[in-house]
Amino acid sequence: MFGGRLALVFAALFLIVSDTSAHDSWIYGGGYRNPAGEWCCGEGDCFIIPREQVKMSGDGYLIFGNEKIPFTEAQPSPDGAFWRCKRPDGTRRCFFAPPPAT
């Protein structure tokens, strides 16, 4: 009986800790904001974009073949990945890109 309760307590703690650490990313912890002053990250708002889904043009990035992001709206990505953060309606809130290779 005691072992069953202890297992439930550990399971609950595991779920709480894993959810917290998953959301405690550099975006959330860094307090990043977009040019309009909105916080970039809310729970489940940011995700990595595979490199093959990002193309660079002369004035910005094209992601998923149809969303254009001017260089002026891209923020530096310290982890070297492309990230897109969205609002509840799905529109882009923030975009992070690694510095161009030199």
Confidence label for 85 from pLDDT (cuts 50, 70 and 90): very high
| Residue-level pLDDT at 14 | 40
| pLDDT exceeds 80 at position 100 | no
For the segment 34-75, what is each residue's pLDDT rounded down to a tens digit?
Answer: 989 999 986 688 999 999 999 999 999 999 999 999 999 999
| Residue-level pLDDT at 6 | 42
Please give the model's pTM, rounded to 2 decimal places. 0.72
* 44 Cβ neighbours under 8 A, 6+ residues apart: 23
